[in-house]
C-alpha cells in the first residue's frame, strides 16, 4: 500500500479572480474507483458532471486540501517578494504536500523546466526524500491528478460565481481572451480593485491607456 498525492491547479492565467490549487491523497489500491466514477481531466467534463464527481471523489480519497490564492496575493508575490507565478505555485504546492504527507506525489508541472521547478519545490518540503513525479498534461495521464483538477476547477468556478453575484455587470470567465471579460475590464478596471490581477499585462495595458486618455 502507498499513499499517492495528486496535485493540479485551475485559474492560473485569468486576469480576474483567484488561482486555485488542489491536492488529494489516496490509497493506491483505491485509484481504480476514481476511474470508475468518471474522473478525468476537468477540462474534458461539463460543469454539471464536474460538480457531481467532486462529491464522489471526497467519498473515495483519504484527505484533500484546497488553496485559494487571491489576486492581491498573486500581485504581492510578483511585485513585493520577487517571485514569479511558478515559484508562488511551488510554495503553495509544498504547503499542500506537507499537509497530506503522502508516500509519492504526482503533479502537473506549470514550468517548462521540470527539474528546476521540482528542485525549488523541495526547498519547502518537510520530507526532502519524497518521490515526486512531475510532468506536463499529467491531469490527462494520471487519475489522481485528474481528481485534483476537478476539485480545483469546481472551486474556482464557485469563486467566480460568487464574484458575479456581487457585481451586476457580467464579468465573463475572467480570462483575457474572453470578449465579455475584456469589456468588463475596460469599463470597470478601477471600480473593483480586489478582483483584478494588476500585474497582468492585460490589466496594465488598459489601465495605462485609460490614464493617457484622461490626461
Q: Where are the beta strands (DSSP E) in 11-163?
A: 19-27, 63-69, 104-108, 131-135
Calculate mean pLDDT across residues 129-153: 97
pLDDT at 215 over 50: no
**Residue 34 corresponds to which cell in the numbers above?**
476514481
| Contact residues for 53 (Cβ-Cβ < 8 A; gap 6+) | 37, 38, 39, 45, 150
- Cα separation, 65 vs 107, whole angstroms: 14
Using alpha carbons, select from 141, 194, 149 the residue that is nearest to residue 11: 149
Which of 10-14, 25-29, 101-105, 187-191 has the weakest average pLDDT?
A: 187-191
Q: What is the pLDDT of residue 214?
A: 55
The chain-wide mean pLDDT, for the chain, equals 94
Q: Where are the beta strands (DSSP E) in the chain?
A: 3-10, 19-27, 63-69, 104-108, 131-135
Amino acid at each position: 500500500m502507498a499513499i499517492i498525492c495528486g496535485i493540479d491547479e485551475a485559474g492560473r492565467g485569468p486576469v480576474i479572480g483567484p488561482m486555485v490549487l488542489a491536492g488529494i491523497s489516496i490509497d493506491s489500491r483505491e485509484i481504480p474507483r476514481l476511474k470508475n466514477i468518471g474522473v478525468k481531466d476537468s477540462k474534458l467534463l461539463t460543469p454539471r458532471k464536474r460538480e457531481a464527481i467532486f462529491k464522489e471523489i471526497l467519498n473515495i480519497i483519504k484527505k484533500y486540501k484546497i488553496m485559494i490564492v487571491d489576486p492581491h496575493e498573486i500581485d504581492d508575490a510578483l511585485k513585493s517578494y520577487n517571485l514569479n507565478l511558478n515559484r508562488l505555485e511551488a510554495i503553495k504546492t509544498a504547503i499542500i504536500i506537507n499537509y497530506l504527507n503522502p508516500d509519492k506525489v504526482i503533479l502537473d508541472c506549470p514550468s517548462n523546466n521540470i527539474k528546476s521547478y521540482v528542485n525549488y519545490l523541495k526547498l519547502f518540503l518537510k520530507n526532502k526524500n519524497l518521490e515526486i513525479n512531475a510532468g506536463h498534461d499529467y491531469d490527462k495521464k494520471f487519475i489522481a491528478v485528474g481528481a485534483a483538477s476537478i476539485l480545483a476547477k469546481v472551486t474556482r468556478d464557485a469563486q467566480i460565481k460568487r464574484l458575479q453575484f456581487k457585481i451586476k455587470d457580467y464579468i465573463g470567465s475572467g480570462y483575457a481572451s474572453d470578449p465579455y471579460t475584456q469589456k468588463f475590464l475596460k469599463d470597470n478596471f478601477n471600480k473593483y480593485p480586489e478582483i483584478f490581477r494588476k500585474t497582468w499585462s492585460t490589466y496594465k495595458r488598459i489601465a495605462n491607456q485609460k490614464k493617457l486618455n484622461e490626461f
